[in-house]
Every structure is written in structure tokens, then in C-alpha cells.
Structure 1
Amino acid sequence: MKIAMRSLLGASCALPLFMFTGGGIAAAQEATEAEATDETTIVVTARRRAESLQDTPVAVTVMTGEALERQQIISTTDLDQAAPNLQFAAYGTLTGNNSAAQVFIRGIGQTDATPAVDPGVGVYIDDVYMGRAVGAAMEFRDVDSVQVLRGPQGTLFGRNTIGGAVLITTNAPGEGAGNSIRVGLGEDNLREAYGAFELPIGETLAARVALGLRQRDGYVTRAFDGLDLGDENMYTGQLAVRWTPSDSFEITMRADYTEEDENGSPFVFRSINETAAFPMIQSAAAGCPGSTFPPPVPVPMIDDPRCANDFQALGPFTNGGTAPAFSTLETSGVSLVAEWELNDVLTLKSITSDRHLEWSGARDADNTPLTILHTRYQSRSDQFSQELQALIETDRLSGVVGYYFFDETSFDRLIVPLGGPGTSYDTQRVNLDAEAWAAFTNWTLDLTDALSVSAGVRYTEETKGLQATMFNVAGANTPEPPAPTALCATAAPTAGCLFILTNRFEREFSSTIGSASAQYRFNPGFMAYLSWSQGFKSGGFNQRYNARPQASGEPISFNDETAETYELGFKSNPAPGVRLNGAIFSTEYDDIQLTYRLGVVPLLFNAGVATIEGAEFELAVAPTPDFLLDASLSYLDAGFDSINNPAPIGGVTPTSIATLNSELPFAPEWQAHIGLSYTFHPRSGLLLTPRLDLSYTDSQFFDAGNSASIAQNDAVTVLNGSLALEPEDSRWRIMLSGNNLTDELYPVAGTSSETTATGYAEIIYARPRSFWATLSYRF
């Protein structure tokens, strides 16, 4: 690991020279022609104030709305095609919901989308934090820019940005975005339509409205009933109103609504453990020849639908399940941002937001005709946040002082039909709440015209609460079994009785974290920086059934996890039309919220320490107005240093699914992207632009236990392409696009429970090659 880091350090120092002595392209950054030519046009807000990308001592990838369209990045889950060391996968495991996101930056994130577990990468829309992983896998609509901030962002963005942050900014009224309409048709009955319109109301009041829909058939078919899984059926709308009564004061109100009603995640059968209890029980009950229980006999390896064995596999795009499958989402929000420039030095800013989220998801986890494990989720969350900032700007000193408040309540309902004797149902109804406040400050001092230093600190207090009702009953495969009336006599959930956590259990957390950096501009085209930053991800309670209480009667809880990163980077413009940025880093990742098994139930414990080291380089080249090349390269070395075993709970010892030899999930060693476009002039006034994007992702695991059956065991190279025709003023555009042009077969997510009583493994493969066409018109 240290040898690799020394090699990367040398490479980062030599790369600018190597690039222009015939060595070739080692790394890169997406950009439009204007961005690559003039870095001042790329504005980032990584330090909560607008500044040039090339002056910011943070590893940031920036994509404008125009760049997103050119690269066919239509949703957040496509971002990892262009941003180094980012993995943004949909179809969160366990939930069956298509909008659940698994987001990892530099090997840090979270795979569990339940409300009791917070994300490891913060997703923000127009300065508002999105508190849940469900809903983070979203389509881009009327977007001005997307920023991917890598490394802990705890000082300025707070809790749950331990891996980094994704900042999405939509177009504001009166900022020149104009009016636009886009319609599209494609394979799998793809139909989409979007429109964004400016509504000037008066000299001081302007509004902007955006509406859209997207529909597409799924690409996995259930053999049982022909249901297509992985489909898209989404409607969205947003409204922004800006009031500017003076040059120094403005208020922007935004409201948004999104609705999705789909058939469920495109999981398919991957494998099953024929010696696991539930497969043996259900095979015997179904009449599988040679299968008995009791006595337990491994399921025979014969091709019979009554037998839970690997003959149940139907291929990468056929699902063998029979249980209900669906995915729904309804999310809405209102925000109010007020800015008051008191004078040339001080600006006050207020960000107020209220958001509502409802979602559901159902899946047949074993993906067979048998009832081994099914899940049905229903969840609701309401969040309110308020942030106050005082922004100071002088000739030599700039900074921000802020206060943040967050309040969230969630209700989570889960039914799990299990393939035990007679089929049983684990059911939970959980009320969760979280309240947090933080005070923070960050300052930058220009010691000279070339040398600047920055430092910041943030203090956070957070309270989380849980109250729950849980029961397990036997019964037929009905939509929902009746709740028992008798209370459990034991201090843990027990079959056939009602277990109620009558008290509201509560835990308090607090954290003080900091950041510091120094940057030096050697010349107008080269800046280097050294930074130190910390971040944390909130602790909480395990909410799943069978999460046995501790001796005190309190549910099992887990603490914050933390990360501390040292980073050495540079921002450069070594030649006209060229931008080259890079960084190397080392992160100590402590108190990792690691998944253990208590029986068949996955629970989180603070049990791991890891070291993560790596490097990233980004390049944009636009030597002429017609030629554009953008690329990136990243390296990651992520492994556990130690894993601690929790104490037994209720006489049962939790079992880690990870070992010291395990790799962190969603942490491929190498990742690269290169995009190339050239604009031809077939006739006066017309532009024809072909573009190719090639992305490479090294092998990676999707769980901490490194289950080989659901891993991306081989490196994957994916080719996308487009051909655009438009006039010189870009008033209209016709674009033909294709994804996965070489029709690669590769997994993007999976769940494995092969070592437990359920014994199943399920996997999701990427959508096969697809083509579509869009027509857009601007006015």
C-alpha cells in the first residue's frame, strides 16, 4: 500500500510534464469548450461560497447541464461514468425500491436504505440536504450544474458527508436558462417529455416552471406472470419564484414534486445454498423428490421447480419469483432561500426547507417459486431543516459562520414472509425520529497574493429516538397476517406473540470535527494544496425484527463512524484550452458501521477500522472550438486494519460477514473514463457532433463480506455514444444516443445471505444495449 502511494505521489508530480512530452493521457476532467478554455467560468460552492474551481483546495468534479446532456448522464446513477472514485448505484438492497441509492465516494458510503441508517455521502439539491437514501437515485431535470466533492466534507456540510457530497443546482428564474422543450423515443417503449419555461411576472419578480415524464419498459421478465422489472414510470414538476426588490436582497422559493409507480427492482436468481435450513424446509414442503425436513437433507441437485437449488437460475434477464413485486415513490418539498448583502463585506443567507417522502417496495428475494424470503416495505419520512449563514469577504480574509438545524420523523413498516416451518411472518412497525443542530465556521486568509491558508471547525449535537412494535406469526401466504393479541413474556421478539418497545428509546450523540488547508499558486496556471479534513456518519438504532434488546431492555444501537483524510493536490492550466487537476490522499476510517448477522438478521455494529489510500486525475482539452476531450483516472487501495467482535446478545454471538482480508464494498481499485467529441460543419449554419464515452471499472464487491456470487468479478468497459445535429445558435438539437454499445453483461448490485438459514443470493445486471432519440428546442 505504501509503495503504491509513493508511486502515485511521484506520478502526480511528474504528470504535467509527462502530458506535454508525448506521454499521452493519464487522467482528466469533464468540461465544455468554454470551461476548458477559461477556468473562471467554472464556479463551485465546495466552501459554501462561489469561487473558481481552479482556486478551490478541494477535489471536485463539475458538470454543467449542457455537459450532462452531451455525455448522456440523465440520472444521478450515471454520474460514476464521469467522476473518479464515485460509485452511484440504484436498487438499494433489501428494499426492492428502484429509487434507493447506494452512493460511495473513495470507498465510503452505505448499502442499507432503511430509515434507521444514514447515508455516507450527502446529496444536496439547491443547498437542501436530502436525508434518505431512498429518492437519491433520481432523474436530472432542469439542472444548471452538478458538483461531486470527494473526501470528508464535515466542517461545511455536516453530518453524513463522511465520504463526500453531491451538490445538484437547478436553473434559477431570470438567470438566462431560457425556455426549452425536449421529447424522446427509444427502445423498450421509452417515452420522455420535459419542458422548462421562464415566467417573467414583473421587474422584481420572476418564475420558472419545469415539468417532465419518463416511461420505459423493464428489461427483466418474470416467468411466472410476465411482469417486467426494472421499468420506469416517473412524473415530476418543479416551480421556482425569485423576488429581487433591490440589488442587495433576494428571496427564492422552490417547490418540487415527483411520483414513481413501477414494477420493482430487476433482481434475478444468482445462487442458493442447498444445505441452508429454509431451502431444505420449503423444498420438502413442496414435494421435491428426495428432500426431507426433518431430518434435514440437502436439497437434491435435480431440475425440478419444487427444489431450491441452482437449477432455479433462469438467466440474467428472467426472474423466477412469484411473490408481489413493486416500487413506488412520492416525494415533495418546499424551500426558501433568502440572501441579504448588507455591505461589501457581509452577506446574510437563510436556507429553510420542508420535505416529505413516502415509498414502498416489495421483492421475492429468493427469486424462486418457493417461499424462502420475501420482503414488503412501506415507509414515510418528514424532514425540516434551517440553516443560517453569515458570509464575510474582505481583500485578504473571507469566511462563513453558520448554524444548522435538522428535524426528521419516520415511520417504517416491514413484512417478511420466511420459509420456516409452516411459513412465518416477521413484522415490524417502527417510529424513528432524529433532531440535530450544529454550529460551524470556516475562514480563508490570503497571506500573500500566492499563499492562502484555511481552517474550520464544526460542533454537532444529535438525538435519535425509536419506538417499535414487532411480532412473528405463522400462517398462510396472505398479504398481511393478523397481529397477535398476547404480549411476549420474554425480553425479545418471540414467535406467536406481540413484542412492543413501549418506551421511546433515545440516544444522544455529539461530534467536533475540523478541517485545514494551505494552497500556493506557483504561477497563473498552477496551484498546489495540502489539506486535512474530518467527517462523520451518524449513529442510531438497529430497527429490524430479531434485533434483540440489550440487558437494559434498550434496542441495539451503534455509534458514529468517522473519517480523517490528508490530501495533496494541484489545479493547473498548463496550456491554452487545457485543464489538468489531480490529488492523492490517505484516509483513516474508524468505527465503521459494519454489518453482522444475528441469526439471519443483518445488524450494524461499530466494529471496523480501515485505511483508504488513492489518487485521482482529471483532464479537459479543447484546443479548438470543435474538438473536446475529457477524461479521468482514479486509483483506490481500501482494506480493513482491524475488525472487533461484539459481545454476545441474548446468548447469541453476532457473526461478522467481513474479515481482515475483505475489501471494502463499492471500492474498485482502478476506474477511468475518456470522452471525445468533434464538431463537423456539413453545411453553413449546421453542426454535426459525434461523441464517444468509454468508462472502465475494475472488479469490485457489493457487500462487506465480499460474496463472490454477487460481485463484479471482472473489470468492465462500457462504451456509450451519441450523434447530435443542431444549428450554430443551438436553438434546436436532434440527438441519437446509445448506451452499452458493446452489450456488456455485468452486475451493478446484489444481496447475499448464503451463509444464513435463508441461503439465497440475488443480483441485478445492467440494462443491455439500448438506443433512443431526442429532439430539443430552445426559445
Structure 2
Amino acid sequence: MPLFLCTVSSSLLAEEMKQAGRIEEVVVTARKRAESIQETPVAVTALSGDNLRARGILGAEELSKSVPSLQINNSTTPQIFIRGIGQRAAFARFDPSVSVYLDGIFIPRPDGQLLDTIDVDSIQVLRGPQGTLFGKNNTGGALVFTLSKPGEDAAGYVEAALGNFNEQRLQAAVDVPVTDDFYTRFSLNSRRRDGFFKDATGSENQSIDRLSGIFQSRWIASDDITLDTFTFIGKIRENFPSYHCVIANEDALFVNGLGLLWPGDTDPNNPSAYVDNCNANSRESQKDLHTNQGDSQRQQKDQDEFLLGLTLDYQYSDDHSFKAIFGYRDATKMNPQTTADEGGPAEFLRADLLDDGLQESLTLELQFNGVLFESVDYSAGIFLQDEFKSERFNTANPLVGSEPINFLGLAGGQAGIDIEAITDLLGSVTGLVPGGTVPLVAAALPLATVQDFEIDGETLAVFTQATWHVTDDFEFTVGGRYTQETRDSYLVTRSADLEAVTSIISSADPRFVPIMPSMGAMAFLGRWSQDPLTIANNILHEQFPGDIRAPLSAPKIDTRGDTFKQFTPMASVAYIVPEQLLDGTLLNSAMAYATWSNGFKSGFQEPFGLDGLSAVKPEELENREIGIKIDALEQSLRVNLAAYSMTFKNMHLITVNVDSNNTLVVGSQNAGASLIEGAELEVMWFPNASTLVNLTYSNNNYRYEEFTDNDLKALALRGERITIDRSDEEFAVSPKETASLGIQYSLQTNIGVFIPRLDISYKSDIYLGLDRGAWLSAQEDPSTAYSKAYTLMDARLGWTDNNEEFNIAFYVKNLMDERYDIGAVSAGDSIGTFTKVLGDPRTYGIELRRTF
């Protein structure tokens, strides 16, 4: 995974505005050599630091407003998708499908990828698989952040901002040259904002509280050797977004599908506690920007991160160079933190990360770059990574209830259960209750499952790529990468001791009579109207008041090691139209290219209920792409177009299944094959010297060619595996269409330059379903699994003095105060709810920047 750096001409936007409406050249090193973006046969968007400030982009998630085919959600789980390819969950076992790099250092975990644009010189977004030059986890593409480097002269800036929701922001950087050949740079970023979601518990969610600092150094050891280092220290102390709840499917297993009763249900003929719980946190029942998630929610996002990078450049001859890139990352996620529940305020379904999650990685890359035979540019190298991850996960559900006939159906689906003996016992107990019926209480859902999970991963890759300039106008590129990843996992699982649970409850209240201790099943010698489920759960919670609310059985230890290997080749051709052929036309330059490339994301192991560790196959992606890049109208118009067709094998998907004990488990599986076809357009136009127009559009069509799953209801009730076809479903998380329009005007006056700007972005509706039940429900009512299409408007008015030393800007984001969803998930087969997360409402403020 070579870590190439993206470089964009400094002060790009200011220079563009000065050049009488001519687009300045943007230089990137996407193929490890400096070349014009218009002569690079890659679908890439490059934004300079000045361009980011002009658009008011403060973090990676805002890039999706203006970059085609890019979707970034930062809701309860950070998600980055390019062309419909990404990773939906952020557990330690899941690798991202879009890689992020900071100054050449690979950021391996999703929760560390959504970087703020602190002291950033440029960001480059590469779309499509980068399986040769990047390699690791790039089936979707890559985001490359490049920091502003230390300068040889003392200089710097201070930027401060105030906004609504008590936003306070401070950024500063200073260059401190130590000697004529050793320079340093210090930068600081502090950003705080109150949460705009008011929860019934009193918490304010979707807050921002980030503090980070960067120290850089550059040592020019000689004319041929340069050593760059950076140290990044970051701290996050904020709250995740709140969400609302919608019943996605009333026939889901936990709603009406299993005939379960929940704490609070007192009438078996009309159980309503589960639905009422969801509705208590619906948008219709709450005031605007208010939620009711309950005391069990753990919204804190507390994370410390340390990054160290070192890059050695050695130009050992006129035509050949060597680069060594060393990176180290250490991150700690402080917990507990709620990762999922059914969406209401009651403590029904809980999934919590407990204790601290540790992440540590070490990377080393050696690159060799140069020119052979005066016409062949080459890059080759070796990449090594060692990574360790750990997390502690707790899944907890309450004791639930059932009528005898329904309980027999549930017990019948469990392996090794003597139904005849249970029937006889129920008959004898029922006779003790007037009326001939008896409420049953049981751990029909996992009462508590605590898993300590550790993963060691090692990656070795070798790569090479060469471009032969056949003529001055025609080039041919081939490359390949061999990757070998080894995963060793260690899992300790402790489940609730249901016999002990039965003993505790029956001893505390003799009305509870054990029926089947292995299922925690008890008969209640009383009436449903007495709410026996609440009584039983309260007894248990009084005995175990912490996060793990049940006694645990002996630990079960599982270990597994797997090695995943893949070779990912690529080939491309590019033709640059000779200048003499463009004379007398409206075109100033034109290039056409065609690319065939491949991507690979390693398989992994994951906990699968009581079955321990299971392996998921690697993802494989084959991309066929053509593109055109044009500058026209005396370089006042730039049009870049790409069209592609990608074949995706073994896509990693989150699904709900059952283990061998017929216990529901959220896990992963591979979709057999799928197809992604689409096109992207980027336009930059200066209609005159003072006006800049940016336009982007993308259209992606996603289709499963092969995707089979198991019928969850048949598995849960009868232990019967019935295969269902899910190939007609849409891809989740990614919109089919995105578009953006930016208009900026520069007004020169005697007191400085006024720059008003308006940005409009559009996303089509997005499918957020998890399973077959969500898809079927959405065909009847899209609101049960889709987020609606939305359009956002951002406005900005900036002023710069004539010396370009002082800037003031007034900004408004989400000008029309649109309500739009940025996540989360609809599960129609199992929990039957759709949890929906709103994006930021209208925000506004003032920024001041002083350079020196």
C-alpha cells in the first residue's frame, strides 16, 4: 500500500481568481510523480486548503457535499462510501473499504478516519479501486490528506470563530525555522459546540468537543536527502447523535412474529409495550430536535489518538529516488458506549462496548521511483503493517414473556429440548392457577453475552507499476500488487447462567416456579395484569445493577488464524490530444483514458454467538473505466467525465442470522456477486474574471447479481434453513444520485475584496435497510427504510484586505434549516424498528483569520 502524497498548487483559489478567469494548473502526484491533474488517468478530485476554507469545509464528512459519488455519514457509526462501496459498522473486526491517509500514514480504523481539516494543505479523493499503488482496503477508493509543511521563513496564522449552539473554534499554526536547513511547524485546533439534540434524560447530543495538536519538522540533510516528521495528538470528548424510532415491520420477530410480551405488557391478547416504546421516541411524539432514548443510552464519544509519521526522501541519482515511510498509531476508545438498541427509551435490547477499546498499528513502506530508458516511469515497493485491536462487547436483553402455546413453539426451535416433558410440566403448573392459564417468563432472547475480542493482524505487500510513454501523446500503464494478510483472533465468551437466573428470581419471589432452567423459563402463579415481566427483571437488576445485569457462566475460549492472499493487477491507456490538432477549436487541452483495475479487502474472523469465531471471505472488485478531461474556452472551462462498470464479488454485508443454538446474532456474510455502473461529472467554469462556478453530478446504479440469505423466521421458530433470494434489493447507505452547485463572486474594492459564495448540494433518497423484512416493508411504505432525498444550501460572505493578511467571513450552513437523515438502520425481520438520525440543523457564525 504505497502512500503517495497529494500536492495541489498553493493558494489555488486565490490564484484562479487573479488570473483573469483562467484555471490554474493543479499538480498531483497520484502516480508518484508530479503531473497535471488533467493529464492523470485517474478519477480524482483535489481541493487545496484555500479551496476548503472558501467552501467552509471543516471536516472530512463535509466533502460529500461537493465530491461526486462520495457519501460520508458521521452518525452513530462513521461511514465512508465511494461509488456505493464502504463499511457500515465500526467494530474492531471490520476494515474500511475506503482508506484514509494523513501525510502518507494509513489510518486503519473507521473511527479515526473522519479527520478535521486542521492545517491541511490539500485533500485528494480518488474514486474506484486503487489496488496497485494503494492496495490495502481500497475497493471503494481513497482519501489523502496532506499537511501544510514547515517553511524556511517565520510565518503562520490564527483563526477564530464563534457560532450558534455556543460554537467556539480556534486554529493556529506557526513556522519556526531553527537553522537554514531545519524547519519546524506547530499547529493547534480546538473546536467545541453544544449538542443540538435535547434528550428527555437531560443530555445534549450531537455535540462537538475536539482538541488536537501537530508538530512537524523538515530537515534538508543535503541536496538529495530530506527527512519529514509529524506528531499528531488528538482528544475527543463529545456526544454521538440521538435518533428517533419508527416501527418498520409489525410482523418482525420481536414485535408480533414470536408472540412475545415485554416488560410493561399486562394483556396477552393485546401486547403493546414494544411498539409503545418505539413510538415514545418517534419524531411525531417529540418536539423538534428532541428525543427520548432513556437512561440506558451511552452517547459519549471519548477517544484519544496519537500518530507519528516519518518520511525519508533520497534522490540517489538524477533518474531514481528512494522513499521510506514509517507510521505509528495508538488510539484508545473510552467506554462504555451504546452501539445499538431497538430505538425506544426502555431498556429492552442493549448492545454496549464496555471498558476501553485499544487500537495500535505500525506501518513501514519502502518505495523506489524513477525513469528507465528515458520513456518509462516506474514505482515499486514493499509495504508492511502490524496491527492490534481489542474490544469488549456486551449484548443484553430482558426476560420476556409468552403464553404456553407460544412458548412451546419457541422451545421447539431450540436444539435438545424435550417438548413432551415441557408440555406435561406446563399442564401440571397450569392446574394451580384459577382459569387454567399461566404467564410464562423466560430468557427467550440472550439475557447477557459478554465477549472479549482481540485481533492481531499482519500485512505484507509487494507492488510495482510502470508507465511507458510510447509517444509524447500516448502512454500505456501496467501494474500489480501481491498482498498477504494474516489474522489471528482470540475470543472469550461468557453467557448468562440461566439456571442461576432462575434460582435467583424464584428464591426472591415464590410465585415464579422454574419450568426449564436451561432457558431461564419460569411460570408465574398469578395474572398478566400484575406485570410479572417487570417484577422478574427488577429482581435481577437489583442483584446485578451494573452494565452486565445477570450472573455469567464459565468462559468459553475460541482462537482462529487465517491467511488471505490476493494479486490485484491493473492496466490503462491514455491519449493526450496534440495541441496542433486543437488549434482553431474551443478546446485548449483534452485527454481520454481507459482503465482496468482491481481491488481487494481482506477477509476476517468475527464472533458468531455461541459458535465462536467464523471466517468471512475477502472482497474482490474489478473495475472497467473510461474518462475524458477537457480544458476549453481559453482555459476558463474545465470538464472531467468518468464512466465505469464494476463487478463486486463477496461484498461484506451486515445481516441477522442465528447460531447453532438458534440464538439471533448480528454478523456478516458475503453477497455472491453484484454490479455497479455509473458516471461522474465535474465542471469548473469562469464565466468572467470575477465569477467561479463549480458543478458536480454522479449517477450510480447498484445491482446484486447473486445474494442469498436465510429466512430468519423459519430459523428462529423451527431451526429450519430456507434460502431466500435478496438480489432484487438496493445497496444500502449510498444515494444513486448526487449533485452540487457552487457559485462564487469576487468584488474588488478600495478597502479589500468581498467574496460571496453559495453552495447547493443534493442527495437522492437512500436505502438504509438491513434485512429482507426491511426491503419488503419499504416497498409498501418507503418511510420504514429510506431517508428522503434532500437539498442543502450553504452561504458565505467573506472579506479580505488588500494585503491578504486579514479575513472575515460570515457563514450559514443548511440555510433553509432542512431536516434530513444521515443514518442509521432499519431491521425489519428481527427487531422490527427503523432508527433514524438527523443531520445538522441551520448553523451560522463568524470567522476571523490573521496571517503573518
Q: TM-score, normalised by structure 2?
A: 0.80
Contact 2:100/2:107 (<8 A) preserved: yes
Q: Give distance in 2, aligned partners of 1:300 and 1:173.
A: 61
Letter in 2 for 1:515: M
Per the alignment, in what secondary structure is the counterpart of residue 155 of structure 1? coil
Query: Hey, what does 1:320 align to over in structure 2?
Result: 292
Residues 670-721 of structure 1: CA deviation (Å, up to 9, x unaligned): 211110011113x314111110001111111134545644644432111111
Return the offset for 1:306.
Answer: 10
Q: Give distance in 1, aligned partners of 2:595 and 2:52.
A: 29
Correspondence 1:347 to 2:321? yes
Query: Hey, what does 1:409 align to over in structure 2?
Result: 388
Match of 2:367 among 383, 389, 396: 389
RMSD: 2.8
Letter in 2 for 1:172: K
Match of 1:743 among 817, 840, 844: 817
Return the offset for 1:300.
Answer: 6.9
Per the alignment, in what secondary structure is the counterpart of residue 74 of structure 1? coil
Letter in 1 for 2:66: A
What does residue range 114-263 of structure 1 map to in structure 2 within 5 Å?
114-174=91-151, 178-223=155-200, 225-263=201-239
Query: Hey, what does 2:611 align to over in structure 1?
Result: 548
Correspondence 1:615 to 2:695? no
Contact 2:765/2:787 (<8 A) preserved: yes
Q: Give distance in 2, aligned partners of 1:277 and 1:646.
A: 14
Letter in 1 for 2:351: T
Return the offset for 1:534.
Answer: 0.3
Residues 5-52 of structure 1: CA deviation (Å, up to 9, x unaligned): xxxxxxxxxxxxxxxxxxxxxxxxx97264596767312232233321
Residues 712 and 63 of structure 1: is their aligned pair in 2 closer, same or farther, counting only changes over 3 Å? farther
Contact 1:171/1:177 (<8 A) preserved: no
Residues 105-157 of structure 1: CA deviation (Å, up to 9, x unaligned): 11111101111111111111111111011121231100000000001001000
**Structure 1 unmatched runs, 5+:** 1-29, 485-495, 550-554
Correspondence 1:582 to 2:641? yes
Per the alignment, in what secondary structure is the counterpart of residue 66 of structure 1? helix
Q: Give distance in 2, aligned partners of 1:418 and 1:374.
A: 6
Q: Give distance in 1, aligned partners of 2:143 and 2:366.
A: 21
Residues 736-755 of structure 1: CA deviation (Å, up to 9, x unaligned): 11111111111111122332
Per the alignment, in what secondary structure is the counterpart of residue 133 of structure 2? helix
Query: Hey, what does 2:526 align to over in structure 1?
Result: none
Query: Hey, what does 1:428 align to over in structure 2?
Result: 451
Q: Give distance in 1, aligned partners of 2:56 and 2:672.
A: 38
Letter in 1 for 2:242: P
Correspondence 1:532 to 2:588? no
Q: Which moved more, 1:568-577 or 1:420-429?
A: 420-429
Q: Give distance in 2, aligned partners of 1:282 and 1:237.
A: 55
For this pair of structures, how many residues does the alignment match? Answer: 717
Q: Give distance in 1, aligned partners of 2:368 and 2:482.
A: 17
Return the offset for 1:759.
Answer: 3.2
Q: Give distance in 2, aligned partners of 1:146 and 1:750.
A: 27
Query: Hey, what does 1:563 align to over in structure 2?
Result: 621
Q: Give distance in 1, aligned partners of 2:154 and 2:448.
A: 53
Q: Which moved more, 1:403-412 or 1:598-607?
A: 598-607
Q: Give distance in 2, aligned partners of 1:547 and 1:49.
A: 52
Residues 547 and 127 of structure 1: is their aligned pair in 2 closer, same or farther, counting only changes over 3 Å? farther
Query: Hey, what does 1:4 align to over in structure 2?
Result: none
Per the alignment, in what secondary structure is the counterpart of residue 77 of structure 1? helix
Query: Hey, what does 2:358 align to over in structure 1?
Result: 380
Return the offset for 1:175.
Answer: 7.1
Residues 433 and 285 of structure 1: is their aligned pair in 2 closer, same or farther, counting only changes over 3 Å? same
Q: Give distance in 2, aligned partners of 1:113 and 1:644.
A: 24
Contact 2:448/2:549 (<8 A) preserved: no
Q: Give distance in 2, aligned partners of 1:77 and 1:218.
A: 17
Letter in 1 for 2:319: V
Return the offset for 1:370.
Answer: 1.3
Residues 42 and 155 of structure 1: is their aligned pair in 2 closer, same or farther, counting only changes over 3 Å? same
Per the alignment, in what secondary structure is the counterpart of residue 449 of structure 1? coil
Query: Hey, what does 1:721 align to over in structure 2?
Result: 795
Query: Hey, what does 2:272 align to over in structure 1?
Result: 299
Query: Hey, what does 1:677 align to over in structure 2?
Result: 744
Q: Give distance in 2, aligned partners of 1:170 and 1:44.
A: 14
Query: Hey, what does 1:734 align to over in structure 2?
Result: 808
Residues 355-379 of structure 1: CA deviation (Å, up to 9, x unaligned): 0111143256234231122232142
Percent identity of the aligned residues?
A: 27
Residues 514 and 647 of structure 1: is their aligned pair in 2 closer, same or farther, counting only changes over 3 Å? farther
Q: Give distance in 1, aligned partners of 2:357 and 2:114.
A: 17
Q: Give distance in 2, aligned partners of 1:738 and 1:480.
A: 42
Residues 154-193 of structure 1: CA deviation (Å, up to 9, x unaligned): 1000121001001111111117894011111101010111
What does residue range 704-719 of structure 1 map to in structure 2 within 5 Å?
705=771, 706=775, 708-709=782-783, 711-719=785-793
Contact 1:243/1:250 (<8 A) preserved: yes
Query: Hey, what does 1:5 align to over in structure 2?
Result: none
Q: Give distance in 1, aligned partners of 2:469 and 2:679.
A: 27
Residues 201-247 of structure 1: CA deviation (Å, up to 9, x unaligned): 11111000111111101121111x21011001111111111110212
Match of 2:836 among 759, 763, 766: 763
Return the offset for 1:263.
Answer: 2.5
Letter in 1 for 2:33: R
Bigger radius of gyration: 2
Contact 1:533/1:566 (<8 A) preserved: yes
Q: Give distance in 2, aligned partners of 1:761 and 1:656.
A: 24
Query: Hey, what does 1:444 align to over in structure 2?
Result: 467
What does residue range 436-515 of structure 1 map to in structure 2 within 5 Å?
436-473=459-496, 475-476=540-541, 478-481=545-548, 496-502=552-558, 504-515=559-570
What does residue range 259-298 of structure 1 map to in structure 2 within 5 Å?
259-271=235-247, 286-288=263-265, 290-292=266-268, 297-298=270-271
Return the offset for 1:269.
Answer: 2.2
Q: Give distance in 2, aligned partners of 1:419 and 1:721.
A: 49
Residues 422-479 of structure 1: CA deviation (Å, up to 9, x unaligned): 7822211101111010000000111001001111000011100111111222642733
Residues 144 and 307 of structure 1: is their aligned pair in 2 closer, same or farther, counting only changes over 3 Å? closer
Residues 363 and 596 of structure 1: is their aligned pair in 2 closer, same or farther, counting only changes over 3 Å? closer
Per the alignment, in what secondary structure is the counterpart of residue 49 of structure 1? coil
Per the alignment, in what secondary structure is the counterpart of residue 218 of structure 1? coil
Q: Give distance in 1, aligned partners of 2:226 and 2:148.
A: 16
Q: Give distance in 2, aligned partners of 1:238 and 1:62.
A: 23
Q: Give distance in 2, aligned partners of 1:747 and 1:200.
A: 47
Residues 279 and 175 of structure 1: is their aligned pair in 2 closer, same or farther, counting only changes over 3 Å? farther
